[in-house]
């Protein structure tokens, strides 16, 4: 029998949520897979398996989902160190480098990741890739001012670019009011060098390459659940 992707996401989420201990400050990632983790947390709070935890949401939508599911929230101002963050990813390579930002929350997700003692990524096996960029464009968040000036820069780096749109084909805006440029580089020969190039460009707020931030990846597939790293 074929296992649905939705079911795989749930299995990965449950394995990661097993790491949460009472009293922890937990980073709550964005996206459909991370939502499975928030659902698991809410269920365990409701039945008493978990207690005394607070969550730091990575987006306004995550905050709304967490509150709906009974997860008490806090902020990085109140808790600048997070014990454990559970988040999803769009693509994962063997070095535990990942592409994130499919949901548009990459800036806050990276801030939360940097504040976390452990960053646990949960994915279904379809998100694994030998080289980042093989199956997913890289989201880059830019301020609206002068955004078109980046197009030649990205072209010189070998990318084709599209401006992300939302409902009614209107440009998507992040929680910070910025734009997302989805940059298709193809399979990346050197994600570290690309990240450095992007970080040196004025007007780029953040990019979706998470390098050196991931503690472990929980993968769910047809053959079961396994861990990469740790």
Residues annotated as catalytic (active site), given as ranges: 109
Counted residue by residue, the chain has a size of 230
According to DSSP, residue 23 is labeled: T
Q: Considering only CA atoms, which of 69, 72, 73, 6 is closest in space to residue 39?
A: 69
What is the Cα–Cα distance from 224 to 204, expressed in whole angstroms?
39
What is the Cα–Cα distance from 191 to 133, expressed in whole angstroms?
9
What is the Cα–Cα distance from 217 to 9, expressed in whole angstroms?
12
What is the Cα–Cα distance from 200 to 197, expressed in whole angstroms?
5
* Angle, alpha carbons 74-176-213 (nearest 5°): 65
- 75 is written with which tokens? 């902020």
């Amino acid at each position: 029998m074929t296992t649905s992707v939705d079911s795989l996401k749930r299995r990965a989420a449950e394995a990661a949520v097993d790491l949460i201990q009472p009293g922890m400050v937990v980073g709550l990632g964005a996206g459909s897979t991370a939502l499975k983790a928030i659902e698991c947390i809410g269920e365990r709070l409701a039945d008493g398996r978990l207690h005394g935890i607070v969550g730091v949401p990575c987006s306004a939508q995550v905050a709304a989902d967490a509150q709906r599911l009974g997860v008490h929230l806090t902020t990085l101002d109140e808790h600048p160190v997070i014990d454990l963050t559970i988040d999803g990813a769009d693509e994962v390579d063997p070095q535990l480098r990942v592409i994130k930002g499919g949901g548009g929350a990459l800036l806050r997700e990276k801030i939360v990741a940097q504040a976390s003692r452990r960053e646990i990524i949960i994915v279904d096996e379809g998100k694994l890739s030998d080289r980042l960029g093989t199956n997913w464009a890289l989201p880059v968040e830019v301020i609206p001012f002068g955004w078109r000036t980046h197009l030649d820069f990205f072209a010189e780096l070998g990318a084709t670019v599209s401006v992300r749109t939302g409902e009614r084909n209107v440009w998507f805006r992040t929680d910070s009011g910025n734009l997302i440029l989805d940059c298709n580089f193809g399979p990346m020969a050197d994600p570290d060098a690309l990240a450095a190039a992007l970080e040196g460009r004025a007007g780029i707020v953040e990019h979706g390459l998470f390098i050196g931030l991931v503690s472990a990846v929980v993968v769910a597939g047809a053959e079961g659940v396994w861990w990469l790293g740790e």
